[in-house]
Structures are given as C-alpha cells and as structure tokens.
Amino acid sequence: MYVYIWKDLANVPFYVGFTKRARRTDPSNSGGRNWLTQQKLDEIGPKNVIVEIRHVSSLEEGQALEKNLILEIGRIQLKTGPLTNLREGGEGTHSPTEEHREKLRQLMLDPNHPCRSLEARNRQRQRMLDPSVKEKFSGENNPAKRPEVREKIKLKWQDQEFRNMMSAKKTGVPKNFSEEDLARRALAVINNPDMKSWEERNGKDPEFDAKRIAGIRAAQDKRREKMSDPVALAQRKERLKATLASPEYAAKRAAFDTPEYRAKLSAAKKAYWDKRKGLI
C-alpha cells in the first residue's frame, strides 16, 4: 500500500492520496480525482509532477498517515495550506460507510461550509461561463448526448422500480420558494436574460426567436427521418394502443368527461379566441 504526495516544480505539495495500487500514484492516471486537483494537474502538466511515495503495511496505518499529512500540510478549501484535497482523508481505498456518507452530507448542508461561500460560488460560476468549458458541455459535446450514455439513461428509466422511486421523491414535496429565493432568482434573470422563461422571450426577443426557428429547421430532417422509420412508427402505435386500453387512462378520461369540465373548456377556448381577435 502507498501514501503518495504530488508536488509541483517548486516542490510544493498539492495533493495527498492513499492507494493499494502503484499505478494510482502516477499523475497520468488522474481519473476520479476531484475537480480542483484535476485543474491543478492541467495547469502544471502530469509529466511535471514530482511524486513522493511512502510505503505502509496496513490499511489503518495508511489511512492515519494520509489524514495526518493532509492536516499537517493544509487544504486550499479551508485556507490552511496548498493541498487540493476536498476531504480530510482517512477513508481511502474502500467505500465509505453509511455513517461516513451521512457525516459528509451534513457537512455539505452546513450553510457556513467553504464551498457555499460567495467567493467559491462566484469562482464556480465564472468557470462554467468560460467558453472552453461551455464548449465541452454544449451541443454534441454534451456527454449526455453520447449514444451509449443515452441508451444507459433510457434503460434506467424503463426500470419501473427506479421510476417509482423517482416519483416517490417528488410526491408531496412543496414547490413553494421562500421570498429570498424568489428575489435571488429575479435578480439573476435581470442580470442574465438567458434565464428568462419561454413566455417572457418568445415573440419579444428577436435573438431568441431566431435561435428557436433555426433550431426547429435544423431538427426537421432528423425528425422527418425518425417519424418515417417503420420500426419507430410501429412502436409508437403499440404504446398508444396500450395507453388507450389501460384502466388508468380510462379512469382519468372519465374524470374529465363531465358537463362541468366541457363547459369550462369551452369558455376557456372562447376567451382565448376573443383575445386573439381583439375582442377583449
């Protein structure tokens, strides 16, 4: 087992880790590290990192040494030192227990946590607004648009147990926001027009309208191809038949198929068209 310290060219340590595998001590194998460490590696280059390795004989010894080194050197997050570690250490090489997970969750919920400071949030916001970062998550570069990722997400949502779980999480959760939340959102919209709702921009913002129309036109060929695919068409028909034949749909339809609802719907449509014609 190895406790390793990564240092920059000035011999200043910036990361401490603990692993059972020697290859994980190599800065070139940086997968799974936190964003701050990855940012530092990108800045100085993996080949320029000085690696100091300390061998340990047991899990407990390695965890204790890792934790002590992080505490001794100090972390950027806590403004106590140069380390990019986001945790205090001591939990390496194995999955954290439920107790530890809960401890981390409560730590992140603390309103005084450094990651919730205005300075940290502004740094994160500026980083996400950086053109090079936005490019990595925009359009076809969006990881969620990769065929293998889309297929994985689609399969996940086909699992009824998962869908029930996600539905249960949202059921009964109040959607009301505090006055502070509403004021903060209103200020964010003023400072960033892109955050305005569709109703506020459609037909009123020429740039937004041009983008929307261009997007619709660009998607027409793909949509036409999808709609004419015989396999996809057959699947849609089968889904529609199953929906129309389901007891849930019949019960929902019966609840709305009343004279009161039809009168209400008729009045709403009449008011809509009177408004369109300028009668209101």
Contact 60, 53 (CB under 8 A): no
Strand 50-55 and strand 2-7: pairing?
A: antiparallel
Residue 278 has pLDDT above 70, yes or no: yes
Task: Find the domain containing 62 and state its range.
Answer: 2-94
The verdict on residue 51 lying in a domain is yes
Contact 62, 3 (CB under 8 A): yes
Strand order, beta sheet including 13-19: 13-19, 2-7, 50-55
Q: Which two tokens stand for residue 73?
A: 């050197």
Residue 131's pLDDT is 86
The verdict on residue 157 lying in a domain is no
What whole-number distance in Å separates Cα of residue 200 and Cα of residue 189?
11
The verdict on residue 75 lying in a domain is yes
Contact 261, 268 (CB under 8 A): no
Residue 152's pLDDT is 87
Residue 15's pLDDT is 92
Residue 253's pLDDT is 84
Dump the DSSP string for 70-98: HHHH-BTTTTSSSB--SS-S--TTSPPPH
pTM of the predicted protein model: 0.36
CA 52 to centroid of chain Cα atoms: 35
The verdict on residue 62 lying in a domain is yes
Determine the 3-state secondary structure of 224 from DSSP: helix
If one counts the domains in the chain, the total is 1
Residue linked to tokens 């450094």: 114
The verdict on residue 115 lying in a domain is no
The verdict on residue 209 lying in a domain is no
Q: Could you give the percent of the chain with pLDDT greater than 90?
A: 10
pLDDT, tens digit, 9 for 90 and up, residues 192-230: 767 677 777 778 888 888 888 898 888 888 888 888 888
* CATH assignment of the domain containing 89: 3.40.1440
Residue 279 has pLDDT above 60, yes or no: yes
Task: Give the amino acid at 128.
Answer: M
Q: pLDDT tier at 96 (50, 70, 90 boundaries)?
A: low
The widest CA-to-CA distance across the chain, in whole angstroms, is 85
What whole-number distance in Å separates Cα of residue 198 and Cα of residue 8?
48
Average pLDDT, the chain: 84
Contact 24, 1 (CB under 8 A): no
The verdict on residue 57 lying in a domain is yes
pLDDT, tens digit, 9 for 90 and up, residues 101-154: 888 888 878 878 777 788 888 888 888 888 888 887 787 778 778 888 888 888
What whole-number distance in Å separates Cα of residue 101 and Cα of residue 224?
48
The residues, any chain, with a CB within 8 Å of residue 77's CB and separated by 6 or more, are 36, 85, 86, 114, 115
Residue 93's pLDDT is 53
Residue 12's pLDDT is 92
